[in-house]
Amino acid sequence: MFIDNIKIYVKAGDGGNGAVSFHREKYVAAGGPDGGDGGRGGSIIFRIDKGANTLLAFRYKRKFVAENGENGKGGKMHGKNGSDVIVLVPEGTLIKDVETGKVIFDMATADEYVLCKGGRGGWGNRHFATPTRQIPRFAKSGTKGEEREVLLELKMLAEVGLIGFPNVGKSSILSEISSAKPKIANYHFTTLSPNLGVVSVGEGRGFLAADIPGLIEGASDGLGLGHAFLRHVDRCRLLLHVVDLAGTDGRDPIDDIDKIDTELSRYSENLSARPQIMVANKIDSLDREDEIFERFEEKCIALGRPFVYVSAYTGENLEELVRVTAEKLKELPPLTVYEAEYSPEEEALKNSAGVRETHIRKENGKYFVEGEWLYNFMGQINFSDYESLSFFQRVLAKNGVFDMLREAGIEEGDTVNIYDFEFEFVY
């Protein structure tokens, strides 16, 4: 079974709480606070599995939860950090937000990506001891780990895609020009999933080709198998449009070309504009004087596409096909890489678990801003770093915190307190 689109739930571990503890030892008076810090929660890390070409592993396991950090202990003992969860995905997998469909990350650009960060461990009470507060009876709780639902969508990294009607010989051609061994038989939809093969062009060079399951008329509307696999040609730099020149299934090869082009354009205008090389297969079954050769050449010239006559059965001209394909690839731009469509600010807000409720109250001339999402978000910020602090301000603005403060009557120069972090408000 081939699975290339699936929804999963991921949750990073919560940080452990800091400990409230005091040193107790014979002959040691007033040992002082010695509460240890909580451990960091485990993160959710996506990593490329080089040998996989399907999301089948997620069919029965769709929930991934990392380990929580342990609480701190007395004697300044730090809680154990939670273990990370490694989620293996095929190269070329897109990680998307379920609600908006926006791309979070493309697993074609890196071998590893941290999707959800574990919560920070809370400080033990030893951090809160001061000359005037020598017996702190409180500690800081750990922050919650990030959690979300994401959609995994596989778009293969093949540079060349073989497209065409069922039974035109795409799998046979791929098996002859590469090391791939797809299932081949003389009936429709023999290919039930994309097959990948590395095509060598000598001197250690080559390209990756994919045999896309046969399209039929109406595939862009979901008929047949083709629509489910059209996404796998999205990244292809070049399409090999295979036609059965002999018309062994009773179809007109020229009519087939028009129908496949129509399905590509209905699925994606960008895809229909992708460069194509026309591959006329099964010429071993034809007489060279057959009028179909002339009709085919006229069609290709009208479309402005190069063409190659081949026979997957006898191997005729397959080396020429590989050569022409390799030469064409040299002229084309690199593989498509999908840029992240989420801004860092949107990501921070999206990763905040639960409803993002914000509460503002005024006490003794100070404005206190509180909220569960805000408490967890504070654990991600390094307030001694200018860029991190600027990011913090952008998230507050995007979530409407500054607007809420203005509505509450704040004036320039008033003090804002967000979980012990204070700053002067400036319009």
pLDDT tens track for 370-412: 887 787 777 777 777 787 788 888 888 888 889 999 998 988 8
Instruction: Let me know: does 210 contact 196? Beta carbons within 8 Å.
Output: yes
Pairing of strands 5-11, 205-211: unpaired
- 316 shares a domain with 178: yes
CA distance readout (Å), 61 to 11, 86, 87, 239, 317:
14, 13, 11, 35, 46
- 385 shares a domain with 286: no
- What b/e readout covers 291-325, taking b as 16+ CB neighbours within 10 angstroms? ebbeebeebbeeeeeebbbbbbeeeebbeebbebb
Split into its structural domains, the chain has a count of 3
Within 8 A by CB and 6+ apart from 316, the residues are 283, 284, 309, 310
Amino acid at 302: A
In this predicted model, what pLDDT tens digit does every residue of 295-342 receive, in sequence order?
A: 999 999 999 999 999 999 899 999 999 999 999 999 998 887 888 877
- 96 shares a domain with 23: yes
pLDDT at residue 251, as a whole number: 86
- 206 shares a domain with 147: no
Q: Which is higher by pLDDT, 325 or 194?
A: 325
Q: Which is higher by pLDDT, 230 or 24?
A: 24
Residue 347 lies in a domain: no
Instruction: Let me know: does 45 contact 82? Beta carbons within 8 Å.
Output: no
Q: Which residues pair with 421 in a beta bridge?
A: 418
Instruction: Let me know: does 168 contact 281? Beta carbons within 8 Å.
Output: yes
Q: Which is higher by pLDDT, 204 or 410?
A: 410
From 312, 2, 1, 327, select the one nearest 160 (Cα to Cα): 327
pTM of structure: 0.72
- 198 shares a domain with 319: yes
- 169 shares a domain with 79: no
Domain interval for residue 379: 355-424
The overall average pLDDT reported for the chain is 84
Mean pLDDT over 283-293 rounds to 88
- 407 shares a domain with 317: no
Is the predicted pLDDT of residue 238 greater than 80, yes or no?
yes
- 139 shares a domain with 166: no
In this predicted model, what pLDDT tens digit does every residue of 118-170 receive, in sequence order?
A: 988 988 999 888 888 888 888 888 888 888 999 998 887 788 989 888 888 88
Is the predicted pLDDT of residue 361 greater than 50, yes or no?
yes
Residue 83 lies in a domain: yes
> Using CA atoms, how far apart are residues 146 and 132, in angstroms rounded to an integer?
37
Is the predicted pLDDT of residue 13 greater than 60, yes or no?
yes
- 114 shares a domain with 217: no
Looking up residue 265, the CATH number of its domain turns out to be: 3.40.50.300
Instruction: Let me know: does 260 contact 224? Beta carbons within 8 Å.
Output: no
- 398 shares a domain with 281: no
Residue 384 lies in a domain: yes
> How is residue 121 written in tokens?
């461990």
- 91 shares a domain with 1: yes
pLDDT at residue 1, as a whole number: 45
- 226 shares a domain with 208: yes
Q: Residue 378: in which H helix or E strand, if any?
A: helix 372-378
Within 8 A by CB and 6+ apart from 279, the residues are 162, 173, 240, 241, 242, 243, 307, 308, 310, 321
Is the predicted pLDDT of residue 35 greater than 50, yes or no?
yes
Last residue of a domain, one of 129, 154, 179: 154
Pairing of strands 112-116, 195-202: unpaired
Residue 340 lies in a domain: no
From 88, 83, 44, 78, select the one nearest 67 (Cα to Cα): 83
Last residue of a domain, one of 154, 177, 210: 154
Instruction: Let me know: does 20 contact 72? Beta carbons within 8 Å.
Output: no
Residue 204 lies in a domain: yes
Is the predicted pLDDT of residue 246 greater than 50, yes or no?
yes
In this predicted model, what pLDDT tens digit does every residue of 43-89 receive, in sequence order?
A: 999 999 887 777 888 988 999 999 999 999 998 999 999 999 999 99
Looking up residue 412, the CATH number of its domain turns out to be: 3.30.300.350
From 162, 309, 169, select the one nearest 248 (Cα to Cα): 169
Lowest mean pLDDT: which of 191-205, 223-237, 349-363?
Answer: 223-237
